[in-house]
Chains A and B, each alone.
Chain A
Amino acid sequence: AQSVSQHNHHVILSEAASLELGCNYSYGGTVNLFWYVQYPGQHLQLLLKYFSGDPLVKGIKGFEAEFIKSKFSFNLRKPSVQWSDTAEYFCAVSPSGSARQLTFGSGTQLTVLP
């Protein structure tokens, strides 16, 4: 079975700082990778996803993520965060080629100080 690790539980940044949130997965085959965001009091929304092709994927709101297969990683980045990026971020993985359910990481709470 697949698993996902997010090592940063809480990240605090000032506005305009750069962001990188770590995500590592464990699975013996090829995977689909996702980042979801949960704003306070809201449901999960998809930020970006990777299925195949260019390992650098761009999502909404200026976020991007890079899939590094050799490191089993899919880190989320943003060059300059805003106060409105304060939210919880979840990395998720599912085996590709079969429609199996998502497995989520434990989440990273991002707080951006104005």
Chain B
Amino acid sequence: DADVTQTPRNRITKTGKRIMLECSQTKGHDRMYWYRQDPGLGLRLIYYSFDVKDINKGEISDGYSVSRQAQAKFSLSLESAIPNQTALYFCATSDLAGYGYTFGSGTRLTVV
């Protein structure tokens, strides 16, 4: 089993719909992240969490929300999806020092 599992792998949704992307990890890491990847822009940080009670906005948090349900679970929600949120979304975890990042396989989201 993968250390960081993202579901779904692919999703097509309509504008205005609410959608949740889920991430779970077996690394035992406290720190979890959500990144968005767009062609030519690299990965940009949406939200990050250093423990269950700590949630922080990243570079591009507008239009997104997160929930850290447990140490191992970190969900990303789009409350009302819009087409420019079409992207590849990655969840990642890291150890306390932030040195060892592990990425999930990604969720390809298309908003039509």
* Cβ–Cβ contact A101 & B90, under 8 A: no
A43→B50 CA distance, assembly (Å): 22
Given A32-B99, A99-B50, A101-B48: A43 in contact with B90 (beta carbons within 8 A): yes
**Contact across chains for A94 and B105 when beta carbons are under 8 A apart:** no
A44 to B42, CA, bound (A): 11
Residue of A nearest to B30 (CB): A99
Contact B96 A99 (CB under 8 A): yes
Partner of B101, one of A4, A9, A46, A51: A46
A contacts with B, residue count (CB < 8 A): 23
B-chain residues with CB within 8 Å of residue A46 when the two chains form the complex: 100-101
Mark interface residues in A72-114 (1 if CB within 8 Å of B CB, else 0): 0000000000000000001000100001111111110000000
New A-B pairs, 6, CB < 8 Å, besides A6-B42, A104-B42: A4-B42, A44-B103, A45-B103, A99-B31, A101-B98, A107-B40
Q: Can you list 5 A-B contacts with CB-CB less than 8 angstroms, sorted by A residue number?
A: A32-B98, A43-B103, A51-B99, A104-B42, A105-B42
